[in-house]
Homo-oligomer: A and B are copies of this chain.
């Protein structure tokens, strides 16, 4: 006989009979929401339109403006109490042309690159320099500036495949994209190449934003795919001297006027208590922004739609926000919080969906323990949907400003993360890599959580 080591108790009922009635009703409405979304797939059709008719939509681009118009029109059709735009100035970075090659003993071999977002270009002539491989930031910091000066630094930091939740691997790895380029510049480097921040082993480079430390010169920075990085690593192991040629014409243009799209259903009993939920409308300028974050956008729209189509009247006000410029500025999220302050609005909860369109299994949260416990008291209601995880820390980027300004409780939908970083910020983030039922389950889980908070408060 095996030893009994731990016990696991699930769904121990401590309900009084008046609560039982509530539970029965809540459970029935949650099932109604699920059946409705699983049989009409409107969010999937919305996503097809966003990805296939508009496509990728970086802030400041004509496609971003088409997405704003589409978002407003789609929300208008639902019959919300109010749909409006919030003006926000956004950065306008353009990729331009890009080409690169690895040079060994005078022989050039082309390599596929993607400039990091917000990066400067190399100028029309491009740059050519010796490549210096750096496996982690400490290695760079221990070097003498003489050894770095004039070189292109290749940050060869790998995505840790051993984490079950791949977001835990993203954290350490993404530093080499957003922060490390300026560290290389500080040491005298003239350019940076990074191993893509991705779990994929394929030939697609993954872009994403960098932030220059203005104390040092802004230098060009590009990503290469994991397979190309492996190859480059092998080449550098075998050869004494490897150089690289990089030409990028990316540049930051003047700010452009854009918008958050906001839609509301007024609460019947506590209309001043707002539950906000959303995703971001902008995407990177490669792929189609299907998982990042078309999924979150169409799920937020679906929450309002299911309330309207099922005739559910929320006691508190529901507000969907399609945020602009999450990727390379967060201007939409900041603007939303500023306007909330100006308008003296009271947000009781903010939920973001910005972790992809796969099957959800829980919510991460940043809030006081009593509020987290209140949400966890509903856990058994989510069990029939295989949604069980309510213990992780985490909110969302766009709703962070609400948390920082007002202490608003925030949470983020957690979909299974196995595939997300295979596609994230790359040519692979396309509609075909979204599955109908998985996307819909995300919309269902969001709608159910919004329903419970709209009825019982937080």
CB contact between A6 and one of B3, B23, B419 (< 8 Å): that residue = B23
One of A275-283, A400-408, A433-441 contacting the partner: A433-441
A10 adjacent to B8 (CB under 8 Å): yes
Residues of A439-454 contacting chain B, CB below 8 A: 441, 452-453
Q: Considering residues A391, A436, A452, which has the most beta carbons from chain B within 10 angstroms of its beta carbon?
A: A436
A5 adjacent to B22 (CB under 8 Å): yes
Cα A372 to Cα B346 with chains together (Å): 49
Chain B residues with Cβ under 8 A from A378's Cβ? 2, 5-6
With contact pairs A7-B14, A162-B39, A389-B386 given, residues A2 and B437 touching in the complex (Cβ less than 8 Å): no
Kindly report which residue of chain B lies nearest to residue A391, judged by CB atoms. B10
A379 adjacent to B15 (CB under 8 Å): no
A161 at interface by CB-CB < 8 Å: yes
Chain B residues with Cβ under 8 A from A15's Cβ? 5-6
CB contact between A380 and one of B6, B11, B441 (< 8 Å): that residue = B6
B6 adjacent to A379 (CB under 8 Å): yes
Q: Considering residues A11, A389, A437, which has the most beta carbons from chain B within 10 angstroms of its beta carbon?
A: A437
A34 adjacent to B164 (CB under 8 Å): yes
Cα A11 to Cα B419 with chains together (Å): 28
Chain B residues with Cβ under 8 A from A388's Cβ? 388
A237 at interface by CB-CB < 8 Å: no
Chain B residues with Cβ under 8 A from A165's Cβ? 386
Q: Considering residues A162, A380, A389, which has the most beta carbons from chain B within 10 angstroms of its beta carbon?
A: A162
- Given contact pairs A34-B162, A164-B441, enumerate 10 new A-B contacts (beta carbons under 8 Å): A1-B374, A2-B452, A2-B453, A6-B14, A6-B15, A6-B380, A7-B14, A8-B12, A201-B436, A416-B416
A239 at interface by CB-CB < 8 Å: no
CB contact between A374 and one of B4, B39, B438 (< 8 Å): that residue = B4
B6 adjacent to A377 (CB under 8 Å): yes
Chain B residues with Cβ under 8 A from A35's Cβ? 162
Cα A133 to Cα B389 with chains together (Å): 45
A7 adjacent to B2 (CB under 8 Å): no
A30 to chain B, nearest CB (A): 11
With contact pairs A34-B162, A161-B437 given, residues A6 and B2 touching in the complex (Cβ less than 8 Å): no
A376 at interface by CB-CB < 8 Å: yes
A150 at interface by CB-CB < 8 Å: no
Chain B residues with Cβ under 8 A from A418's Cβ? 359, 435, 437-438, 441
A431 at interface by CB-CB < 8 Å: no
CB contact between A379 and one of B8, B201, B441, B452 (< 8 Å): that residue = B8
28 contacts between A and B (CB under 8 A): A2-B374, A2-B452, A2-B453, A2-B456, A4-B14, A4-B19, A4-B373, A4-B377, A5-B15, A5-B19, A6-B11, A6-B12, A6-B377, A7-B14, A9-B12, A38-B161, A164-B384, A164-B386, A164-B441, A201-B436, A359-B359, A359-B416, A361-B361, A361-B386, A418-B437, A418-B441, A419-B438, A422-B435
A293 to chain B, nearest CB (A): 20
A2 adjacent to B441 (CB under 8 Å): no
A227 to chain B, nearest CB (A): 13
A178 at interface by CB-CB < 8 Å: no
